[in-house]
Structure 1
Amino acid sequence: MLNKWISLLAIVVFCLSACTDGYIDDIEFVEPGADSESPEITLNYPTDGTQIRVTEDVTSIEIDLEVVDDIEIEWVAVELDGQEIARFEDFKDYRRFLGSFEYDNLTNGEHQLDVIARDLSGKETSTSVVFEKIEPYQPIYEGEVFYLPFDGDYTELVQIQNANVSGSPGFTDGISGRAYSGSPDAYLTYEGGNLHSEEFSAVFWYKLDGTPDRAGLLVMGPPDEANPTAMNNRTSGFRLFRENAGGMQRFKLNVGNGSGENWFDGGAAADIDPSSDTWNHIAFTISSDQCTVYINGEVVSQGSFPGIDWSGCDILSVASGAPRFAGWGHLSTSSQLDELRIFNRAISQSEIQSIMMEEKN
């Protein structure tokens, strides 16, 4: 029994010592009227200029904020477009409030979010940001399943996919708005499994920079376990690329059929002069029995084909052959690319020409 009391006394002595040694903060007495600072507000999300892209017309948004006061917070209110959507009056830490809540009725258009905080002495602070929920993109062509306009970001607009960005690509003036501007070792990748279809087409604008003298443009290929650092498995998917041909740049398409590969090389008809410094329209179509490559709306290569195989093709590479078509050095360049569209059908030559005319105008 004596040992029990000795142990209890030791605990009490330790606690008293901890309090005097600074382990527990002293309670500070605050004179009335000593509250001299207004609350400080930090709005973590959304921030000024935030753009929200989703496939729905009405969506939710997670609002994240922080309020700090030197003495005590009385209340915090959040307003969206002038209407109060949240109010907080109960705080575990009366000097610091970390708030995060979901608002589930955000509509298309520009919005203003205001946060107002008041302390016990009646001083108020407010902050506001303007952000936008972008109206969902509606495909304008039959079978359009992927659209990448490059208008200041790398977001694909049909399925709302954000790119995995490698290197340091940028933006420049494009055929319509802004365009992708490449740099060494820069490229984009997207989810590719949702693009598989028996027929497939892609169209885009391309301003050629011929250095280095070979590069990948669009690639959906399988992994290459035998060459993990220089992949070049061509038994499935496709590889659209360019390479030197007597000083010109020749555009070629390779497509895997499951048991082998098929080449579509138009020779000189598929050449572009790297010194031209002009936008050229590139397109290709894959049907169940034929592949065709177009430059500026004209056929430059065409041939029979047994049908594409998509085994292992889970990523789409844009502006480089990496990582799935790197074995022959078809990587990145400083070329520019704009208005990339992918279709789940083989579109016709007249449709390609119509798209060209609409985008140029």
Structure 2
Amino acid sequence: SMRGDLASIGVYNGTFHPVSCDPNGTLDDGLVGYWKMDESSWNGTSGEVKDFSGYGIGGTAVSGANTILRTPAQTNNTRTGTFSDNTYVTLGNYQFDTLTNATMSLWFYYTGSFDTNRLLFNRHINGAADSRQPIFVSYPGGYSNKLVFENIVNGSNRSVVSDNAISPNTWYHAVFVCGSVGMRMYLNGVQQVSTNSTTDCLVTISPTSATTLGGGGGTSFAGQIDDLRVYNRALSPQEISSLWSSGLGCLP
């Protein structure tokens, strides 16, 4: 026998699908780079890290960056990029160098120690250390183990940081917005308190010598990175929440 309440029973004559994570159909609008990282493997072949935005900005694995099964698996993506030591992925620059407004979205799972800054994403000009745009997990002597997004142009640094320190061996969804709305960061769908003033976004580091994922131009990331998206506009809080929900089992 049963005790308690029972509600919302559904019977279907076909396959049940979870709710869409793009109910308004806007998450393809302004998408200029989309790397799912669900290839079976990478071996250093040019363009092998496929771009699904339609712009063909395929990435290339360097020094052994590869893919593995994601644990726990997402409904819509069961593989993820894995990075350690000096491994990283190079990405093309064509679409990035013109962006005055942008949103970057990715998932990450950090497995390293907090001994130095660990790069998730980086744009830099070779020979110009004072012009770069890194996203990284920090160390205690810097930003106290928090997630950081910096926009450094000719030595002038604007940054935003997460509210709390990053916990290792934990999946996070991170979104970074910059441009006319200023600089903002969202973790797991929640806007972080730290913000910064209006600034041109990725175009400020142009022409770029390198755009890399998981390292390059600094200390490499340790762990997994998945589902990187770049938009040529600032996503709304509702759209960012939808991207966060996509990792919880809704349909892309």
Q: TM-score, normalised by structure 1?
A: 0.52
Residue of 220, 227, 230 corresponding to 1:332 = 220
Cα distance in 2 for partners of 1:306, 1:278 equals 31
Structure 1: 5+ residue stretches without partners? 1-138, 226-231
Alignment of 1:204-283 (within 5 A): 204-211=106-113, 213=115, 214-224=117-127, 232-234=129-131, 237-245=132-140, 249-257=145-153, 260-266=156-162, 269-274=163-168, 277-283=169-175
Secondary structure of 1:198's aligned partner: coil
Instruction: Show the counterpart of 1:161.
Output: 57
Alignment of 1:112-151 (within 5 A): 140-151=27-38
Secondary structure of 2:29's aligned partner: coil
Kept in 2, the 8 Å contact 1:200–1:345? The answer is: yes
Which has more helix, going by share of residues? 1
Shift in alpha-carbon separation, 1:287–1:270, aligned structure 2, 3 A: farther
Alignment of 1:1-361 (within 5 A): 140-152=27-39, 153=41, 154-158=49-53, 159-174=55-70, 175=74, 176-195=77-96, 196-211=98-113, 213=115, 214-224=117-127, 232-234=129-131, 237-245=132-140, 249-257=145-153, 260-266=156-162, 269-274=163-168, 277-300=169-192, 301-308=194-201, 309-320=204-215, 322-323=216-217, 326=218, 331-361=219-249
Kept in 2, the 8 Å contact 1:169–1:182? The answer is: yes
Cα distance in 2 for partners of 1:341, 1:306 equals 20
Cα distance in 2 for partners of 1:285, 1:305 equals 11
* Higher relative contact order, chain-length normalized (CA < 8 Å, sep 6+): 2
Cα distance in 1 for partners of 2:197, 2:123 equals 20
Secondary structure of 2:239's aligned partner: helix
**How many residues are aligned here?**
204
Cα distance in 2 for partners of 1:271, 1:360 equals 22
Instruction: Show the counterpart of 2:7.
Output: none
- Structure number with greater Rg is 1
Q: CA deviation at 1:257?
A: 4.7
Q: CA deviation at 1:249?
A: 2.6
Cα distance in 2 for partners of 1:211, 1:314 equals 29
Cα distance in 1 for partners of 2:220, 2:58 equals 20
Secondary structure of 2:195's aligned partner: strand
> 1:62-117 deviations in whole A, cap 9, x for unaligned?
xxxxxxxxxxxxxxxxxxxxxxxxxxxxxxxxxxxxxxxxxxxxxxxxxxxxxxxx
Secondary structure of 2:183's aligned partner: strand
Q: CA deviation at 1:281?
A: 0.4
Q: TM-score, normalised by structure 2?
A: 0.73
Q: CA deviation at 1:360?
A: 2.2
